Structure 1
């Protein structure tokens, strides 16, 4: 059984996310360096698996991501609070807020029962209006994102999600989803939002244990930005990360529904936003090189700097992953020493995604690189 299914790692699974970064990978790396008490950094932190691993190891960790959805989920990995605190906050927001904006599109009318959507929107607007972010609000936000869409239960009282039939890890495109539901006569269930959230949050083993990190150690921004790295409170000495795969441009679009919950539009925004440049291998390597340079600059005061990078290519790109990664190291202008290159085996994306809507994807080829500052 993989670590993902262990009860003590439920917090790491608070919100399913399109990812191929198993907990075993950062755990294995940190075990090697534990005696050094390193400061950990993940500049493409995604849903925060590296941060969760560092937390479990009692280490300080920082995360960066350009996706607001990723940042919201990753913050929860560093949060610590009483189990009841986020649930009490949820009840308070739902009872106090009468939503000003209820999306009225074919998708939302088919995706959620009217009373369920009302509570979701109250929760959404209440969280958006909070003046101060707390550990409890971070947990509530991530839990709500995790419950926002997923498979239908056989019995509504066992619902773990708010929506009509959908994948757990990404949001289907609206037109496709509406056709899918209509062809199968699938109706959105009337679910108790607070009950679903309680089922989710009560499973978060270890949430009440003190965290060595603050939720403020997850930064929303572009890792290519030198200025963003100045916000790191301590110099990193271990980097564990998995950059966006070359040719994969739709991370935010695939999470459009969760992005809506965080304050985005109720339709898909296809603008690229801040991300690595996928316009060609050379510009991609240069973009990634900027990140490696920023890391090295931020870690100038560290005696040593190790980077462990899981890197891959989507099959349709037909690019040499090892050659592209090495080119990014050269582009950084930093003197890196390549310690090892290993195959990470294939990550079968299709099998890791919910198949309720028959989404299919070919396997990506991945490599694990270990480099250190020379």
Structure 2
């Protein structure tokens, strides 16, 4: 299904044809409509698509639906794991057979025994989750089936508890679906409400998730290896981009937003990280001030231009925003980043984006209300 054929006034996120794009909800994600609209504009050119801040891979999924080759880059292992699933193709039974084998064969050597994990998961459920975790970590080679299983498990790792357990879609006690609550807060929340973690049939939940992935068996236009784990500020990561990009669609981290890693700490644990929150920043854009942030972003734009074919037009579409508390001019920061890149860019258009709240499917059980980010859509061309 393409952007032009979607049902009028119905968000693409709610279409069953796009279930693969929703395999794992992510706290900050732009709507599928944005890359779908851009790529429909360029589809006759058969562009190579690049998203240097690919997040959960919405741009890659949009490219896949149109049969276009795409590359993604992200510093977050959680983002990379989810994005790779958007380029995977396999029979729906393959990841389920792999899950059954890992749960039956793997005797997990590490089962966290903290107050959080004891309250977050039934002990039998946690055992099976840990078997999946260790089994996937120790696989000899990544396959499309393992990419789907990993992303599906990440998507089921935490979320709301239904009234009727036969409808369970998550492994955990009551939690948001898009981000992991802080352990101390979560334990207090559960104790105050006397909430106990339900015993979950992990395979059944995964089956409900994976069987909904319409189009999974259709051949993908490019391999999962075209999602790269790395920092787009680094020249090194771009050496692995073996086909020159011609259309870039991306949304850099909001200026002032520093909690991506911490918000995904539980999924990061599933991917081999610690069973506690790591508050170190890790590789990311420098949020120490507007000028250094613009310089960091400029390095990415320069790397993109250097990786593209100098004889062809390079289009870059950027949705860029700031968190309300930052109180700075997003348009000014973005324009400064273009200048910092040292690349001759022409600003084609600047438009206000829809509210970051538009169309969101946020689990609000454990999160206070907050204002939406201010966002703009920029289109620039390399001169």
TM-score (norm 1): 0.99
How far off its partner does 1:288 sit?
Answer: 0.1
Matches of 1:56 and 1:112, distance apart in 2: 36
CA deviation profile, 1:291-318 (whole Å, cap 9, x unmatched) = 0000000003451100000000000000
Match of 1:175 among 172, 184, 204: 184
Q: Which residue in 1 is equivalent to 2:61?
A: 52
Instruction: Indicate conservation of the 8 Å contact 2:256/2:326, yes or no.
Output: yes
Q: In the alignment, does 2:226 pair up with 1:217?
A: yes
Match of 2:153 among 114, 134, 144: 144
How far off its partner does 1:349 sit?
Answer: 8.1
How far off its partner does 1:346 sit?
Answer: 1.9
Q: SS of 2:318's equivalent? A: strand
How far off its partner does 1:345 sit?
Answer: 2.8
Q: Which residue in 1 is equivalent to 2:293?
A: 284
How far off its partner does 1:350 sit?
Answer: 11
Instruction: Indicate conservation of the 8 Å contact 1:235/1:302, yes or no.
Output: no
Q: SS of 1:168's equivalent? A: coil
Q: CA RMSD in A?
A: 1.0
Instruction: Indicate conservation of the 8 Å contact 1:41/1:238, yes or no.
Output: yes
Q: Which residue in 1 is equivalent to 2:35?
A: 26
CA deviation profile, 1:94-117 (whole Å, cap 9, x unmatched) = 000000000000000000000000
Q: SS of 1:208's equivalent? A: coil
Give the alignment of 1:97-136 within 5 angstroms: 97-136=106-145
How far off its partner does 1:213 sit?
Answer: 1.0
Matches of 1:335 and 1:189, distance apart in 2: 57
Once structures 1 and 2 are overlaid, which stretch shifts more, 102-111 or 357-366? Answer: 357-366
Q: Which residue in 1 is equivalent to 2:167?
A: 158
Q: SS of 1:346's equivalent? A: coil
Once structures 1 and 2 are overlaid, which stretch shifts more, 295-304 or 39-48? Answer: 295-304
Q: Which residue in 1 is equivalent to 2:251?
A: 242
Q: SS of 2:339's equivalent? A: helix
Once structures 1 and 2 are overlaid, which stretch shifts more, 348-357 or 303-312? Answer: 348-357
Instruction: Indicate conservation of the 8 Å contact 2:11/2:359, yes or no.
Output: no
TM-score (norm 2): 0.96
Matches of 2:44 and 2:133, distance apart in 1: 43
How far off its partner does 1:2 sit?
Answer: 0.3
Q: In the alignment, does 2:204 pair up with 1:195?
A: yes
CA deviation profile, 1:328-374 (whole Å, cap 9, x unmatched) = 00000000000000000321289642111143221111000000001
Matches of 1:157 and 1:31, distance apart in 2: 40
Q: SS of 1:347's equivalent? A: coil
Once structures 1 and 2 are overlaid, which stretch shifts more, 309-318 or 358-367? Answer: 358-367
Instruction: Indicate conservation of the 8 Å contact 1:349/1:361, yes or no.
Output: no
Count of residue pairs brought into register by the alignment: 374
Q: In the alignment, does 2:341 pair up with 1:336?
A: no
How far off its partner does 1:20 sit?
Answer: 3.5
Matches of 1:98 and 1:350, distance apart in 2: 42
Q: Which residue in 2 is equivalent to 1:64?
A: 73
Instruction: Indicate conservation of the 8 Å contact 2:29/2:55, yes or no.
Output: no
Instruction: Indicate conservation of the 8 Å contact 1:47/1:73, yes or no.
Output: yes
How far off its partner does 1:157 sit?
Answer: 1.7
CA deviation profile, 1:141-168 (whole Å, cap 9, x unmatched) = 0000000000001122211000000000
How far off its partner does 1:265 sit?
Answer: 0.1
How far off its partner does 1:136 sit?
Answer: 0.1
Runs of 4+ in structure 1 over 3 Å off:
349-352
Q: In the alignment, does 2:381 pair up with 1:372?
A: yes
Match of 1:311 among 295, 320, 340: 320
Matches of 2:123 and 2:285, distance apart in 1: 39
